[in-house]
Amino acid sequence: MKIRYERPVCYTAFWSYRLGLFALALFAISAGLHRFAIMESDIFAVLFAISTGLALLAFIFACYGILRLWMVGAEGGRASAKGCICALIVLVPAGLVGYRAYTLPPLYDIATDTASVPEFIEPVTHGPDWMPHVKLFESAPYAGQAEAYPQVTGRRYEGALDRVLEAVRLVAENRGIKISSTRMPQPPEDVAEPDAQEPAQPGDAAAIVSEADDTDSIISLREILAEESAPQDPVVLKQAQIVLQGEARTLVFGFGSDVSIRLSEEAETTFVDMRAVSRFGPHDLGANAWIISEFLRELDMELVGISVR
């Protein structure tokens, strides 16, 4: 007589596969739609959080199913393995997001020059309002940037402004940054025309002083002569600057950032500054620093030989 052993069934293992597969499908579809700008960022954030929660639950169920298989030989080992794999595909990027959010400073605005921040030509928006924003931005908007992103610095090139501008446009096209606005250098303001009346000569002013009888008038005329003879402050010429504004997107998930590129002509060199501001969320997870550093690295390669810093 044959003896048949009946193995217990672990239904939790099968539920782990179902939940893991659903979480993976939800994550893949929402990430793809957001990457190609079909889905809004706030909707993707909600769906990503839901898929992460389901994947975590599926991973716990899978661990329980494997434990039951080891202890009593319960059925569901393959389902537990499949559910564990599906859950890990979702939990790995979620864990990376959490790690970068914990280790990097909570910034969504990154600039190469924090003292004189490059401005945007057109106003930019940052949201959404329902997400918590870090209040430290009001007092120290760039706190911790220098320590976390030492590579985010400006570049100086021994080249004319138009030469560097041509290279910047080429690199922006190669990097997928869509330039939407450009502000060229402003023409010098017209110098105010002097009055038609000729200024009084020193001899004439002295004659006026000698003919004046009032002591107060003599003192006031002497003060005027002293001010006219005093050396004038040197005229400071404005630097020629070109500002470009565009939009960049992250490589994997496609989060958008507004980018400002400022070119300043200084003597015989051109200095390039950049700024990137995320459109979504209180933390950019290092994306803006990556956009700036990679852009400037490629610009260095394009202008190889004329970079001085």
Spans of all domains in the chain: 11-103, 109-186+237-302
Burial class (CB in 10 A: 0-12, 13-18, 19+), 49: exposed
> pLDDT tens digits, residue range 65-104?
999 999 988 999 999 999 999 999 999 999 999 999 999 9
> pLDDT tens digits, residue range 267-295?
889 999 999 999 998 899 999 999 999 99
Which band of pLDDT confidence, cut at 50, 70 and 90, is reported for residue 142? confident
Are 111 and 142 in contact by the 8 Å Cβ rule? The answer is yes
In whole angstroms, what is the distance from residue 66 CA to residue 43 CA? Answer: 35
Give 17's contacts (C-beta < 8 A, 6+ positions apart).
58, 62, 79, 80, 82, 83, 86
Residue 6 has a pLDDT of 79
- The domain covering 109-186+237-302 belongs, at the CATH homologous superfamily level, to Kinase associated domain 1, KA1 (3.30.310.80)
Residue 139 has a pLDDT of 47
Q: What is the pTM of this model?
A: 0.77
Nearest to 100 by CA among 112, 90, 92: 92
> pLDDT tens digits, residue range 167-190?
999 999 999 999 999 999 876 555
In whole angstroms, what is the distance from residue 76 CA to residue 212 CA? Answer: 114
Other CB atoms within a 10 A radius of the CB of residue 247 amount to 15
In whole angstroms, what is the distance from residue 53 CA to residue 210 CA? Answer: 95
In whole angstroms, what is the distance from residue 71 CA to residue 12 CA? Answer: 15
Looking at this protein, which amino acid is placed at residue 285?
A: L
Query: Can you list the positions of beta strands (E) in 159-217?
Result: 178-183
Which band of pLDDT confidence, cut at 50, 70 and 90, is reported for residue 127? confident
- Token pair of 71, please? 């202890």
Residue 268 has a pLDDT of 85
Are 292 and 155 in contact by the 8 Å Cβ rule? The answer is no
